[in-house]
Amino acid sequence: MSAVGRPGELQSVCVFCGSSKGHDPAFVRAAEAFGRLLAGRGITLVYGGGHTGLMGALADAALAAGGRVIGVIPAGLAERELLHSRLSEQHVVTGMHERKALMASLASAFVALPGGLGTLDELFEIWTWAQLGLHAKPIGLLDVNGFFRPLLELTSQIVEHGFARRENLELVLVDDHAERLLERLADRLRAE
């Protein structure tokens, strides 16, 4: 999997997050703040290409702060008027598998924000690819208000029951502070 930018530099971050806003206003605030943070650091945002929910809040904040935003959306979702119309670059693809592969190829790192089943699907696929050695790009969870705590408990159970090794869990960095998470991702990328 190739990445945008020079090797060893955090040039682009693929963000997985909800197409809904969720019930906690902190989720929207975190998405907006993360979009502004990426733009402020000159890091390209790669995301699912929609205009609703946390995805829309993230993209709108990055764009408003002068950032570069690349969307990747399946044609079926674009046809249902979920397509964000003001992005720096928008790719309309045939389906979800192509979407995930293209987003992965455009990113030098990955971050998951709160979201639903689609967010978890994207996170687990990219995590599995790392486990299998298909990429060495850093992965992070921005743990807004403990959103990912139950998931982390489940993954610990998976290790305790012998279905994964502890080092597989360590492939994902977890932090509740966005700037610190970005620094940790950049450090891990430089170490690769």
Cα 78 to Cα 158: distance, rounded to the nearest angstrom: 36
What are the tens digits of pLDDT across the range 92-146?
A: 999 999 999 999 999 999 999 999 999 999 999 999 999 999 999 999 999 999 9
Q: Does residue 119 sit in helix, strand or coil? A: helix
Does the structure show a pLDDT above 90 at 5?
no
What are the tens digits of pLDDT across the range 21-63?
A: 999 999 999 999 999 999 999 999 999 999 999 999 999 999 9
> What is the pLDDT at residue 7?
54
- Confidence band of 8 (pLDDT split at 50, 70, 90): low
Which domains does the chain show, CATH number per domain? Answer: 12-191 (3.40.50.450)
Which residues lie below 8 Å from residue 23, measured CB to CB, with a gap of 6+? Answer: none
> What is the pLDDT at residue 79?
81
* CB contact at 8 A, 72 and 49: yes
Strand order in the sheet with 172-175: 89-93, 69-74, 44-47, 12-16, 109-112, 139-142, 172-175
What are the tens digits of pLDDT across the range 149-159?
A: 999 999 999 99
Does the structure show a pLDDT above 80 at 3?
no
> What is the pLDDT at residue 6?
52
